[in-house]
Chain A
Amino acid sequence: MARPPFTNDIRTLRFLAGEMTQGDLGDRVGVTRQTIAAIEQGKYSPSLEVAFRIARVFDKPLEAVFQWSDEEG
């Protein structure tokens, strides 16, 4: 499966948020732990709503969490 044309820093942001687990983030965003894992691995592109919810959990702007990759886009 081709990877999406953007990357994300969710793993790093979880680490900086006191090793927040994928399950905790999923609960706060309203998705399952597996979906957070799939987003982190680039196996699933979240909806705009979930992307914004993730950014809000970390109190960051959207582009601090998801970055467009010029190499692939």
Chain B
Amino acid sequence: MNFREKTAWLNVIAMVAAYSLYFGLLLSGHPAGREIFPMLWLFGSIAVAHAVTVIVGTVILSAQAPKSERARADERDRAIRRRGATMAYYVLLVGMMIVGVYMPFIESGVPLANAGLFAIVAAELVNSAVVLMSYRRGWHG
């Protein structure tokens, strides 16, 4: 498994862990699902923890990887990234359409913000999953 694939796995694992916790707490009735300040605190804490995990993990993986693997992305890496971003775009598009349809039916902005965050997380997960699958199974981009 090369350096780029390992960092993609790190992103997926960190994101699943962080946002499963966030949306799990919302589903279990945490006030972050209804009120603005609890939402900002919970989301802010989880987003910072997620970012720190990814940064520290990337530094560790980078230190362990041979120099040749840390070289600039080549045409295959770029093709794979484009494929992931294209698939994620459609997920984000549909997610935002659903949020837009949901918008007129609610009074508070908090559930709307959480629905938007869910769409972003889902799109990013699809991006990472497509990138991982393309490295594993091949991609004729």
Contacts and interface: CB of A to CB of B under 8 A. Distances in A.
B and A form one assembly: yes
Interface residues of B, number: 13
Chain A contact residues: helix, strand, loop or mixed: loop
B74 interface: yes
A6 to B, nearest CB: 10
Q: Which residue among A1, A4, A41 has the maximum number of chain B CB atoms within 10 Å of its CB?
A: A1
A23 B76 contact: no
Given A32-B69, A33-B68, A34-B2, A1 B139 contact: yes
A41 B75 contact: no
A43 B68 contact: no
Interface residues of A, number: 18
B74 A43 contact: no
A50 B141 CA distance: 13
B2 A32 contact: yes
Interface string A26-41: 0000111111001001
Interface centre among B2, B69, B76 (most CB of A within 10 A): B76
Interface of A: 1, 4, 23, 30-35, 38, 41-47, 50
Interface of B: 2, 68-69, 71, 74-77, 137-141
18 contacts: A1-B139, A30-B74, A31-B74, A32-B2, A32-B71, A32-B74, A32-B76, A33-B69, A34-B2, A34-B69, A34-B76, A35-B74, A38-B76, A41-B138, A44-B139, A44-B140, A44-B141, A45-B140
